[in-house]
Amino acid sequence: MLQIVLFAIIALLLIISLTLFFRLQKLQSKPNTSQRSTLDEEEIFQTLPLPIIYKKNGHWQTNKAFSHAFGVMSKDNSELLSMLPKCGEHTCELQFDNGIIKPTLIYTAPLLGASGDFVAIVVDISHLQKSKALLLQQKERLELALEGCNEALWDWDMKSESVFYSQKWKQLMGYEITETPSTLSSWLNLVHSKDMALVNERLKAHLDGKSDYFEVDHRIRQSAPLQWVKVRGKAIRGKNEQPIRMVGTIRNVTADKAEEMKERFEHERFIAFVEHIPALSFIKNRHGNYLYINQAYQQFLGFKTWKNKTAKDLFDAHTAEKIAEMDRLSLYEGLTQHEITLPTSEGLKSYFSLHQFIIEEEGEKLLCGICINKPFRE
């Protein structure tokens, strides 16, 4: 951004300088132009801040900025400039009056109506190169810091529709070092088809201002073995809150996904185990609301609606009262084994040995139980 501003300022000064210089030449070429007008243009030429030199009829003419910048080196630099092509943009190292050699950008153009004569405007670009070097250093530091965190950088300029991808990003996405991806499609074309809808949905939501951050996990198409990445980003908005740029990171989360899938598989396996236990299993909170009932218990109840309901909603008043008393004994007196008779959905009675225990979830005590069926006793 700093470089763009500096180049814009230089370009404006160049336009002004060239306009005034050629206007001076035009006025000098008119025989009827007043001496005062020519003098005014000459004064303006001398006060221009950029060093300017031109050669006309074999004679060198410079403005004050040129003499001030190069001093005793003005003659040597004039001869050096005379060796440049007479039209175009050139880079050259010139020695300034303080003895320091600096990189310069030189614009040359032929004088109007003159053969072999030309004008040269000199721009000191040493500060630009220092700024560029500083920006590159900061960029390298950022990339090293991100790489240390296993993160890669991307930067999407929506105005130019171009995207910067760091070397680490290319490595994660399977690009060769010599390849230069620079568009949004360079990323989206590698999103696995099963994840494309989610990626587009999350990206659109963030660009529309419906989320503070963009974040999505997706698989990389045709990666072997299959790789997962986590993409994060945030849009920078301009006028009317319209997104103009988006900067973010990407990291490989294949190992995390593998562990996540392993935990999910183990959880699903445990749930399947509990669901198929041939005993009535349940979890309820301390108020008696059922949070979980396994298939055997649901079948015993006749598949009634049970979620968040209490024993009063599922059984007769007498049975519900007995269940409430057993819950109290388990929760507050530590008595965990009980015997209970429960009516079936057909009205028959079943005798159970009830084992209850307490677990804690987010600071709340939950009461769990297993009812094992036994032969009915009179």
pLDDT in tens, 278-322: 899 999 999 999 999 999 999 999 888 999 999 999 999 999 999
Among 373, 348, 365, 370, which residue's Cα sits nearest to residue 289?
Answer: 365
Token pair belonging to 306: 């049970």
Q: Which domain holds residue 328?
A: 276-374
User: What confidence score (pLDDT) does residue 2 get?
Assistant: 45
Q: What is the pLDDT of residue 242?
A: 92
Same domain, 163 and 253: yes
Domain of 346: which CATH number? 3.30.450.20
- Report if residue 287 sits inside a domain: yes
Q: What is the pLDDT of residue 226?
A: 94
Instruction: Say whether both 17 and 125 belong to one domain.
Output: yes
- 148 occurs within a structural domain: no
CA–CA separation, 223 and 340 (whole Å): 58
The answer on 120 and 8 residing in a single domain is yes
Tokens 């109007």 -> residue? 112
Do residues 188 and 75 share a domain?
Answer: no
Both tokens of 191, joined, read: 């999103």
Q: How far apart are CA 169 and CA 220, in angstroms?
A: 12
- Residues 228, 304, single domain; the answer is no
CATH of the domain at 108: 3.30.450
Q: Which two tokens stand for residue 143?
A: 């990339």
Q: Which of the residues in the chain have pLDDT under 70?
A: 1-41, 112-116, 135, 138-139, 141-149, 376-378
- Is residue 190 domain-resident? yes
Does the residue 187 lie in any domain? yes
Please state the three-class secondary structure of the chain as a single string.
CHHHHHHHHHHHHHHHHHHHHHHHHHHHHCCCCCHHHHHHHHHHHHHCCCCEEEEECCEEEECHHHHHHHHHHHHHHHHHHHCCCCCEEEEEEEECCCCCEEEEEEEEEECCCCCCCEEEEEEECHHHHHHHHHHHHHHHHHHHHHHHCCEEEEEEECCCCEEEECHHHHHHHCCCCCCCCCCCHHHHCCECCCCHHHHHHHHHHHHCCCCCCEEEEEEECCCCCCCEEEEEEEEEECHHHCEEEEEEEEEECHHHHHHHHHHHHHHHHHHHHHHCCCCEEEEEECCCCEEEECHHHHHHCCCCCCCCCCHHHHCCHHHHHHHHHHHHHHHHCCCCEEEEEEECCCCCEEEEEEEEEEEEECCEEEEEEEEEEECCCC
263 part of a folded domain: no
Q: Is residue 145 in some structural domain?
A: no
User: Are residues 65 and 161 both part of a single domain?
Assistant: no
Domain assignment present for 271: no
> Is there a single domain that holds both residue 15 and residue 80?
yes
| pLDDT for 112 | 66
Given 257, 291, 308, which residue is the final one in a domain? 257
How far, in Å, CA of 233 to CA of 206, rounded?
9
Query: Is residue 101 domain-shared with residue 166, that is, in the same domain?
Result: no
- Flag whether 244 is in a domain: yes
The pLDDT value recorded for residue 321 is: 94
- The predicted-structure confidence for 140-179, as pLDDT tens digits, reads as follows 766 666 665 678 889 999 999 999 998 889 999 999 989 9
Shared domain check, 281 and 251: no
Structurally, how many domains does the chain consist of?
A: 3
| 119 shares its domain with 173 | no
pLDDT of 45 reads 74
- How many Å apart are CA 258 and CA 84, to the nearest integer? 63
Angle at which helix 126-148 crosses helix 2-29, to 10 degrees, equals 160
Query: Do residues 108 and 181 both lie within one domain?
Result: no
Domain match, 115 and 7 both: yes
Query: What is the rounded distance in angstroms from the CA atom of residue 283 to the CA atom of residue 364?
Result: 13
